[in-house]
Structure 1
């Protein structure tokens, strides 16, 4: 899940970015409206977290412009403006959620994760492919019933591969969905991460390398046939 944080505070902005990355999100940071507008134009996000009062204006203007252009990107306003009229204005301009500073980071992360799930209505609580089971709400992975320990990035990559089980997922697609602007598109970060994921999952290897294209998740218990996304062949 990729998130854009729009916050000009020199301490809070980096702290939010760090905390959300540690919570498993890919995070980009913008310090003003112009930078945020540019990032929204060139990247795909699952959620925008925006302060209201910024050096070049009120984030409500950006939000209104996004909604007018047809954007359905979930937006959480994170601001010290706590009057009822401020909250009402936020929702009237298209905000999906409103959280007042100071706040508990655990609550913010939970709200953002909920908004990201809303942005992807087809994404459901559990994915299965072969012997792999991915419990999205609890962030747990099992293989043949055995609970595995994955890092947040390994979990994110496996989630994309399982959502596209049987299909080739390119390296650029994985970077777009699982990394943020700090990732270098021409580096080997994807290959290194997939190598780590393979070691975590153990044999037989469920991830196939498609030379010159990317990676494909296969169902290890069927000799290479693709798996289903639930135990009955439908997603639940």
Structure 2
């Protein structure tokens, strides 16, 4: 009788109820956010719908965090330690779950809303073998022009062509090897160009890459262009891809 009366005095079922509600919201949010990318990649929903799932998942996660915090405080005051632990774990899980979307949001605010990046803004490498695929996508085949170049120069002034002290054939082979190491799909090559497509893991976004080489007195000059097929902003992904690729190529 004493144990039962203590349980009633300690809030009855409410700490357990709020804990379960927090867990249910957390699971629902996790499913929505985790499925948004793969379901879009499987072409079962539109991109706008997948972003809606992400937003709704984040909102549900926030609700789960509120309930988790309420459970933690309520159960702590009532000395109901199991629900309190559940509430704390839910709060921690929510922080981990929304960390990546928050980072993406902050990143989107810190980079210019452009999606076509190149080391040569005056004469960008052109897509030829991938032109047909890009024509079917929302973003244009041709380089956007002066305004994009201005924003790129302000945000990524470090992006420059590199020079390799080797013959053209060796430079082409080194570039192909670097591309293959990254898992990009090579669309084709010419005597001095390589076109390839990089696919993101979660959403399956396709970004096209063209590498152009020109012989110089000291070796080979390498220019590169990376452009997303969809989206106004690439969150800095294309600039990072070019920088990392050229650094690895130079190291070879």
Shorter-chain TM-score above 0.5: no
TM-score (structure 2 length as normaliser): 0.25
Choose between structure 1 and 2 for higher RCO, CA contacts under 8 A separated by at least 6 residues.
2
Richer in helix (by share): 2
